[in-house]
Structure 1
Amino acid sequence: MHCRPDTETEEDNTTYFRQQKKTKSKSHTRCVIGVFPEAVRKADPVAWFGPAIILALFLIACEKEFPEERTPAPELSVARLTTTTTEFSALFSWNMDGEVSACGIVWGENENPTLENNDGATIDDPGAGSFSSSLDGLVPGRTYFVRTYIIIENDTIYSEQIKFTPTGLPEVITRDVTRITSVSAVSGAIIEDQGGATVTELGLVWGVGEKPTVTRNEGKIINSDGAAEFTARIQGLKSDTRYYLRAFATNEAGTSYGNQLSFITSILAADIDGNVYTTVIIGEQEWMVENLRVSRYSNGDPIPGDPADPEWQKSGETRLGSIKVYPHAEVPGLDNKIEVLDAYGALYNWHAVNDGRGLCPTGWRVPDNDDWKVLVDYLGGPETAGGKLKSAATDPASHPRWDKPNNDATNESGFTALPGGSRTSEGNFGLAGYHGYWWSATEINIFGAADITIGSRNGNVISSIGNKMNSYSVRCMRDRD
């Protein structure tokens, strides 16, 4: 028996051992059984049994002394994906002479990156046959290919590549806060970038403390329709309170927040009768969202309103203020005076508006022409402001509502103009559901004062002059501090 180098060829009549040499590593000797001579195999078994035993023992000794070589096999696994960093871990094993001199990760946007052709590489400590490595500066949503490598002496060995797309946090914008009332406001969110993954939640969070989060807030709204943007009404707020608001968006990488906005809710206005009115902030002004329904002046004196009241009957001569409620029999769906008052408020002549005892709650006033002009101009002018002021509720919706067609109504401002109709100086009621009339505090002449009209057929605001003895709705307002 003898060992021969790899260059020898196998012969049928010989028994030999092959010496193998691994390229770029130290040689090992592996004993491989060849072929027994034909004569020996055909002879008496006793003749070749002894040599066979010796050969078998020799082979066992060879295998113990010269273990079989195994090719290094790095195993690549993704440990964690974050916004701009991807952390990989690698485990590898080998059974050959030569130390691992270097190991690490190579990556790039092209397939099968190498140490010579990549967008990035790391050099890591091989340790005890494993290492971990982080890839920095990745662009969320972009596809990369990554491989581990090990260097044994001068031989570089790569793993199979992995294809992956890192996920980033989504980018979201908080919509401006509008229609701020004493108890509510309107805002929303817009997704600018999903971060390379599906946004699973989009919403708003708010609170009295800065930077509210999805776990620390006083209120949260989640958009449920899956759209990339939405607008919603924030409700349940406290009056005259500063709130902080942020949009948020969540994907598999986590939750991000939009720009923080702050706003102060308007105050609740209460008249001397105890009626409480919701209010809304429009620009630098604060307006009641409901028509006035108080029955007394601010000093407690009653406003004449009963046709049998002599003071009311002679109000045209003495210029006394008066109040009247639109007849419920002429408003289908309402059964009594209280329901009409709650839905559309009361109707007042201009003398009640101008009475020095005060019609509006303390701190509030009846707007003059300049106040109305500021409001209308803020909403785009008289050709379009009416639609932004009108309630969008339209028959057959429940009261309060507009009769059809209620064209161009969006109530974008939150003013919620309602069609309370009017009463003429002759005592005739009309146009409830179709027109809303509101007094201005501005006197035009001895017989007339300025008023504002909004109708169901279009989105216009009409400024005109009304007879002081006519009875119209009243909205109170105040300037923001």
Structure 2
Amino acid sequence: MKNVIKFLAAMTVFSVIFMSCDDEEDLAAPNVGDTQAKYIRETSAFLEAELVSEGDEYVTEKGIVWGTASEPTIDDNALETEDSEDLYTVEIEDLSAGTTYYARAYAMSDAGTSYGTEVTFETTTPVSDIEGNQYATVQMGDQVWMAENLRTTTYSDGTAIPNVTNEDTWSELTTPAYAWYENNSSNSDRGAYYNYYTVATGNLCPDGWHVATESEWQTLLDYLGSEPGRKLKFHGEQLYTDYNETGFSAGMEGYRASGNGVFARYGEWTWFWIGGADAFQGYTYAKKFEDDSHGVEHDLSSNQMGFSVRCMLD
């Protein structure tokens, strides 16, 4: 009888242990969703991913893994996020230009490590104008833009663009011209100011590139969603962490005025000409950014104004 009791006790303990192990094996690991490459630059990418559910255990770590081969894991390149939201973003850096990468979200818990759907993207490459000036680039959605203001003084066909320094002459122009801020070529890193007559030639951007049209601008703004200005610009003289997440890097470069030819609003506003726009008795629409606004305005302006230019890949 004692042997029977001992046997039953042993079986009970074994059953408890077995059921406990079975429960652990059946614990659901985290469920990770798709990964999206929102903004792609030459050496970095801004990715968005989602933790769909934690599963049966608390998620101890989540982030993005990436590599140059398909199905990367945490043993390749991994960047953990401290974002507590289920929908989170991660910026990965130290990438190589013109290279194909594979990335996916991951999440870890005591129940295991899970990976989301893989995304493939190719980092951008710089573009050069006819003078050899090189510009950083950024892909946003299906569009690739310059991430710097144009600073060429020569059309893509090799013709020189007139440099007009005199204020009165500038204010009366109805022909193409450019200027540097305060007429000082050492400010060329900010880009040149071009009047609309220069843009209207259709030869301002490098071959294979063009000044973005209104519909192309609208496609970009729709892709960015809320507060597009904040996502596209520097704030004042300094880049804050919650600004310029795209890497478009619109600085508040001001403009050259049409009525008196002076330089104005540096550090406060910046304007970008729209390509292919219809002129209305000497006026054309342009895109306006303000330092203290998160939006992007669409305003009519004199063709004699000196504004910045961004080119977009054809």
The TM-score with structure 1 as length reference comes to 0.55
Change (3 A) 1:103 1:463: closer
8 Å contact from structure 2 (residues 230, 295) kept in 1: no
Q: Distance in 2 between matches of 1:227 and 1:379?
A: 22
8 Å contact from structure 2 (residues 127, 136) kept in 1: yes
Partner of 1:205: 65
Q: Of 250, 257, 269, which residue of structure 2 is paired with 1:435? A: 269
Q: Distance in 2 between matches of 1:392 and 1:433?
A: 10
8 Å contact from structure 2 (residues 210, 313) kept in 1: yes
* Structure 1 residue 473 displacement after superposition: 0.4
* Structure 1 residue 191 displacement after superposition: 3.8
Q: Distance in 2 between matches of 1:188 and 1:378?
A: 14
The code of the aligned residue for 2:142 comes to E
Map 1:280-291 onto structure 2 (within 5 A).
Answer: 280-291=138-149
**Looking at both structures, which has the greater relative contact order when contacts are Cα pairs under 8 Å and sequence separation is at least 6?**
2
8 Å contact from structure 2 (residues 164, 170) kept in 1: no
Deviations 1:163-204 (A, max 9, x none): xxxxx5333335422122233221244444445445443221
* Structure 1 residue 253 displacement after superposition: 4.8
Task: Please tell me whether Structure 1 or Structure 2 has the larger radius of gyration of its CA atoms.
Answer: 1
Map 1:331-370 onto structure 2 (within 5 A).
Answer: 337-338=185-186, 340-342=187-189, 344-356=190-202, 358-370=203-215
Aligned partner of residue 351 in structure 1, secondary structure: helix
Partner of 1:454: 289
The answer for unaligned runs of 5 or more in structure 1 is: 1-21, 26-70, 76-91, 93-101, 109-119, 122-132, 141-167, 329-335, 402-408
Change (3 A) 1:191 1:370: closer
Aligned partner of residue 272 in structure 1, secondary structure: coil
Partner of 1:135: 22
8 Å contact from structure 2 (residues 150, 191) kept in 1: yes
8 Å contact from structure 1 (residues 390, 418) kept in 2: no
Aligned partner of residue 187 in structure 1, secondary structure: strand
Q: Distance in 1 between matches of 2:44 and 2:106?
A: 19
* Structure 1 residue 259 displacement after superposition: 1.8
Partner of 2:15: 106
The answer for unaligned runs of 5 or more in structure 2 is: none
Partner of 2:303: 468
Deviations 1:356-410 (A, max 9, x none): 5x21122110122332233334444xxx554345425335x27xx9xxxxxxx84
Change (3 A) 1:449 1:228: closer
8 Å contact from structure 2 (residues 63, 90) kept in 1: no
Aligned partner of residue 113 in structure 2, secondary structure: strand
Deviations 1:53-96 (A, max 9, x none): xxxxxxxxxxxxxxxxxx84899xxxxxxxxxxxxxxxx7xxxx
Aligned partner of residue 91 in structure 2, secondary structure: strand
Q: Distance in 2 between matches of 1:389 and 1:248?
A: 26
Answering whether residue 220 of structure 2 is matched by residue 375 of structure 1, we say yes
Answering whether residue 184 of structure 2 is matched by residue 325 of structure 1, we say no
Map 1:71-90 onto structure 2 (within 5 A).
Answer: 72=6
The TM-score with structure 2 as length reference comes to 0.80
Identity %: 31
Partner of 1:394: 236
Q: Distance in 2 between matches of 1:371 and 1:195?
A: 42
Partner of 1:444: 279
* Structure 1 residue 267 displacement after superposition: 3.6
**Root-mean-square deviation (Å):** 3.7
The code of the aligned residue for 1:135 comes to D
8 Å contact from structure 1 (residues 188, 231) kept in 2: yes
Q: Distance in 2 between matches of 1:473 and 1:314?
A: 16
Q: Of 32, 36, 41, which residue of structure 2 is paired with 1:181? A: 41
Change (3 A) 1:286 1:460: same
The code of the aligned residue for 2:264 comes to G
* Structure 1 residue 206 displacement after superposition: 1.2
Change (3 A) 1:73 1:291: same
Aligned partner of residue 218 in structure 2, secondary structure: helix
Change (3 A) 1:201 1:375: closer
* Structure 1 residue 352 displacement after superposition: 1.7
Map 1:196-275 onto structure 2 (within 5 A).
Answer: 196-215=56-75, 217=76, 219-223=77-81, 225=82, 227=84, 229=86, 230-275=88-133
Q: Distance in 2 between matches of 1:295 and 1:459?
A: 31
* Structure 1 residue 297 displacement after superposition: 1.7
* Structure 1 residue 299 displacement after superposition: 3.0
Q: Distance in 2 between matches of 1:421 and 1:139?
A: 62
Aligned partner of residue 106 in structure 1, secondary structure: helix
Q: Distance in 1 between matches of 2:219 and 2:74?
A: 39
Which structure dedicates a bigger proportion of its chain to helix? 2
Aligned partner of residue 453 in structure 1, secondary structure: strand
* Structure 1 residue 294 displacement after superposition: 1.7
Report how many residues are paired.
Answer: 309
